[in-house]
Amino acid sequence: MSFTTILSFTLYRGRVFLKNAQKHRFKVLGVGIGSSLLGYLNSCKVYAKGRTDLNDLKAGWMAEPLTDINTLDQESDDMKRRMEMMIMRIQGDICRSFERIEGKRKFLVDRWERKEGGGGITCVLQDGEVFEKAGVNISVVYGKLPPAAVQQMKSRGKNLVGTELPFFAAGISSVVHPKNPHVPTVHFNYRYFEVTCEDGSKQWWFGGGTDLTPYYLDTQDVKHFHQTLKTACDKHGQDLYKRYKKWCDEYFYITHRGECRGVGGIFFDDVEEPNQEGAFRFVTSCAESVLPSYAPIVRKHKDDAYTAAERQWQLLRRGRYVEFNLIYDRGTKFGLYTPGARYESILMSLPLTARWEYCHAPEKGSREDELMKILKNPKEWL
């Protein structure tokens, strides 16, 4: 069996048991495989219907899934179930990686249900030595879209027939606010949406992105971050990184301040091409790129010395973060529009502390001023 076949079955079909393939993996490749890929292969145990291998997947999750485990097993080819299992895996991988970086503190795991249908798993680590506040949430919700949400989607060009339509949404969302001002904040979100129109037709799409918000500019860090995202995108199309990097710069723009929230990354929405399977593979690659894009930066700077003045600058920039999330962010607005919304989880993205000063401006020529020039004039990093 070729490596391409093994990888495609492992990542995208989830139907072939890999024990025999992994036994011969070095012979197949002819060279050593990177430890990160092998770790992924080992963590991504696939299963056949009726077998107990699904329990191996569960061992990596932070809580029981929102969908009954038998349903996940029996409907494992359904995109709704595949997306749920993918985000459960990503959540577990990221939370455990952050816990290893943090040391003593662990994530608080809050599994909640929504009376209108579905629920979520909110994982939050607060007041750590490295992470002042880190949240990694998943939600798997369904029900009827309220008219306001339908109208918002129609305004984006969705041809939805009806006013209150059955929907399904599954996604993972995370914001990490580190304690040290020399460690950037990171945000990522990957989601799948499905709507059933009054005529019985279904519409589906994917969205998401990953972006970086530093307080002090380290060009090497930013280039590493963007290169990792580009590598993930390039597997699915050579033009995707450029297109979605531009979209990210435009989306995370604080209009009333005339500046970007951070140094960008990738952002996309309403993705339907090349087809459902291809779009899912792309989103999976992007979600898997979060840890390698960000964790090395955290490890590099988490023990850097910093001053009280640098801490104050960090809090001021966090204020801008709050402004964007509460005024412009599409995901926040959708969450607040949704009946039965869980506001604690929606507002998880906000930092524990932030600061606003009247008409504050950084000193000319300072490192703070250097960052502001980039935020007002986004650049190409690669």
Catalytic (active site) residue 187: yes
Contact predicate 118/90, CB 8 Å: no
For 162, 225, 311, 324, 375, the CA distances from 370, given in Å and listed in that order, are: 50, 19, 17, 21, 9
Q: Are 69 and 85 in contact (CB under 8 A)?
A: no
How far apart CA 54 and CA 68 sit, in angstroms, is 12
| DSSP letter string, 349-377 | GS-S-----TT--PPTTSHHHHHHHHHHS
Quick check: 40 and 97 in contact, CB under 8 A?
no
Q: Residue 226 carries which side chain, given as an amino acid letter?
A: H
Catalytic: which of 187, 224, 226, 301? 187
Closest CA relative to residue 83, chosen from 348, 310, 277, 270? 277
Q: Do the Cβ atoms of 269 and 329 come closer than 8 Å?
A: no
Residue 151 neighbours by CB under 8 Å, 6+ apart: none
Q: Which residues are known catalytic residues?
A: 187
